[in-house]
A and B are shown apart, each in its own frame.
Chain A
């Protein structure tokens, strides 16, 4: 469609460099997962030791398990809240949609550090001053911290999906005297299911990756994986950190692959959904 002119070659070369730049550190982490040395940055020959260290070292294993558990609960919670809110925005817009959109926008653009420093004193107030003990629990804190942005993301995706579908199926259901609850579970929910799945998986990967909020609200004993890594930046990074990250990256990519598949089959373009998120 375009002749290979000088400008186009230059543009293409630039784009290739940009992609190289984007993937350079990821490739490096992948390669250094097989680093047999004692420290991550010092290459000590090829070895599978970093991968076996995941099993051998209980702190590493525990941190990964905490992260996975938190990510599942946070994703389910954010999906539930976001699906309901997204459906309300798409199907029952009214004067409330404006302020609610502003709230979602604020949640999405606020730097994570502000969420983190705001949640820390709030959890102390709730847990210690008001004796609401669950808020001193590390898991509860992590799930709440990770659910905020994720709820906004799921809401956007579900709303975008429903706005794209006209409401004739729900009307038909109502015309056939289905109660609103039945219509919701039998018609609307199956319609939005792909968007809910996509949003939930994104929420899962966001939670798995959350460093900033987690490191503020961290309770010792329930240290999540990124917080463990972040503290290791100061004390010394070991190759197993790269190994775990490589495995988690594979999990994330699989999740994203599923998202792309599902969205493609349901007719929504990935780009549009991402742009909405």
Chain B
């Protein structure tokens, strides 16, 4: 342990963690405390016409209100859009990430990854406005689709649920491609070779060897994409018009127009809890499926071992 002298010497004057105190304080004062205040507001109510919040009467009524049928419909729609959007991102990104990580020559991969990141670092709002231009009734796409007869009305593209879904998939696709790419990149090529040598076809090798090994990347991608999708507020505002309302827009309107901070706070808390529950469920589902597949395809070499060694064989198989 050659590091020790530095640490001890530094520790005598000033403990090292002091360096993290400014960031810690900053994030506590402007992230943790504001959020606690929101949680506190969510237990209050909107007092009369002009007030925004009051905590004189404490209740869970705002949560009941947030779950009332008007708002609940939008919660459900948001959940569906985010689930479908995340799944679509996964399906679109999977072949591309696999191609980039295993078929493209190694020296070109960096360039492709950089290209995936360019849209991600371009203004989110501007990219979404780009789609608004593409989908607009005066745009070339609407003209073409009307000409061909795929749509009857050039106004049918923009301000729809479909447009919002397209925008969601587009905006978060880089966040799915990158972790998948990293995951595929780390899968040892020799394992695939071994699988093929043992007689498995390419499809079987992909689904039984490569894909299970890339599971951490898949989970990371799903989490990275699903969470911001649930809270998105820009995409529905730009592409959805009145039809594409999502929870984000609902919360925003409680704070900015209805001036009902208590209800808006309750909705925000519900949004966070709902997101967390879905993420935990999805991760456990993926691990569960992986475990089942693993159990089914587990190979024990040799004859059926006596009961006491069976445990060890399983350990070997899992390792």
Q: Is chain B found bound to chain A in the same assembly? A: yes
Q: Which residues of A contact B (CB under 8 A)?
A: 1-2, 7-8, 11-12, 14-15, 18-19, 21-26, 28-29, 32, 40-43, 80-82, 84-85, 87-89, 91-92, 94, 96, 100, 103-104, 106-107, 109-122, 125, 144, 147-148, 151-152, 155, 167-168, 170-171, 174-175, 179-180, 205, 208-209, 211-212, 216, 226, 229-230, 233, 237, 241-242, 245, 248-249, 252-253, 256, 260, 269-271, 274-275
With both chains docked as a complex, state the minimum distance between the C-beta of B133 and any C-beta of chain A, in angstroms: 5
Known A167-B6, A271-B182; contact A229-B126, beta-carbon cutoff 8 A = yes
CB-based closest 6 A-B pairs:
A111-B231, A92-B16, A25-B130, A85-B23, A118-B34, A88-B19
Instruction: Indicate which residue in B38, B125, B228 contacts A111 across the interface (CB closer than 8 Å).
Output: B228
Are the C-beta atoms of A82 and B23 separated by less than 8 Å?
Answer: yes
Identity of the chain A residue whose Cβ is nearest the Cβ of B127 in the assembled complex: A25
Complex alpha-carbon distance, A24 and B32, angstroms: 39
Are the C-beta atoms of A1 and B105 separated by less than 8 Å?
Answer: yes
Complex alpha-carbon distance, A209 and B268, angstroms: 23
B 108-124 to A, binary, CB cutoff 8 A, 1 in contact else 0: 00100111111101111
Most chain A CB atoms below 10 A, which of B30, B32, B33, B138: B30
With both chains docked as a complex, state the minimum distance between the C-beta of B208 and any C-beta of chain A, in angstroms: 17
Q: With contacts A107-B31, A113-B252 known, what are 4 further pairs, Cβ within 8 A?
A: A117-B38, A180-B9, A211-B124, A252-B121
User: Counting CB contacts under 8 A, is B293 at the interface?
Assistant: no
Are the C-beta atoms of B24 and A100 separated by less than 8 Å?
Answer: yes
User: Counting CB contacts under 8 A, is B244 at the interface?
Assistant: no
Are the C-beta atoms of B173 and A29 separated by less than 8 Å?
Answer: no
Complex alpha-carbon distance, A113 and B34, angstroms: 13
Are the C-beta atoms of B16 and A113 separated by less than 8 Å?
Answer: no
Complex alpha-carbon distance, A215 and B293, angstroms: 47
Known A29-B126, A174-B5, A275-B179; contact A113-B251, beta-carbon cutoff 8 A = yes
- Kindly list chain A residues whose C-beta atoms are within 8 Å of the C-beta of B53: 121
User: Counting CB contacts under 8 A, is B51 at the interface?
Assistant: no
Main secondary structure of the interface of B (DSSP, over half): helix
Identity of the chain B residue whose Cβ is nearest the Cβ of A206 in the assembled complex: B121
- Kindly list chain B residues whose C-beta atoms are within 8 Å of the C-beta of A121: 34, 37-38, 41, 52-53, 261
Instruction: Indicate which residue in A122, A151, A212 contacts B27 across the interface (CB closer than 8 Å).
Output: A151
Instruction: Indicate which residue in A1, A81, A148 contacts B31 across the interface (CB closer than 8 Å).
Output: A148
With both chains docked as a complex, state the minimum distance between the C-beta of A268 and any C-beta of chain B, in angstroms: 12
Instruction: Indicate which residue in B20, B138, B179, B237 contacts A233 across the interface (CB closer than 8 Å).
Output: B237
Are the C-beta atoms of B17 and A94 separated by less than 8 Å?
Answer: yes
Known A43-B138, A111-B231, A122-B30; contact A241-B6, beta-carbon cutoff 8 A = no
Q: Which of B66-74, B94-102, B284-292, B307-315 contacts A (4 or more CB under 8 A)?
A: B94-102
Known A109-B227, A147-B26; contact A248-B15, beta-carbon cutoff 8 A = no
With both chains docked as a complex, state the minimum distance between the C-beta of A143 and any C-beta of chain B, in angstroms: 10
Are the C-beta atoms of A92 and B10 separated by less than 8 Å?
Answer: yes
Instruction: Indicate which residue in B28, B32, B130 contacts A29 across the interface (CB closer than 8 Å).
Output: B130
User: Counting CB contacts under 8 A, is B213 at the interface?
Assistant: no
Complex alpha-carbon distance, A95 and B119, angstroms: 39
Are the C-beta atoms of A114 and B10 separated by less than 8 Å?
Answer: no
- Kindly list chain A residues whose C-beta atoms are within 8 Å of the C-beta of B114: 260, 270
Are the C-beta atoms of B272 and A88 separated by less than 8 Å?
Answer: no
Identity of the chain B residue whose Cβ is nearest the Cβ of A115 in the assembled complex: B31
- Kindly list chain A residues whose C-beta atoms are within 8 Å of the C-beta of B18: 88
List 30 A-B pairs, Cβ < 8 Å. Answer: A11-B96, A21-B170, A24-B134, A26-B119, A26-B122, A28-B133, A29-B126, A40-B129, A42-B138, A84-B20, A110-B31, A112-B233, A113-B232, A113-B268, A114-B35, A117-B264, A117-B268, A121-B52, A122-B30, A122-B37, A144-B30, A147-B26, A151-B26, A174-B5, A208-B123, A216-B252, A226-B125, A241-B129, A242-B126, A252-B123
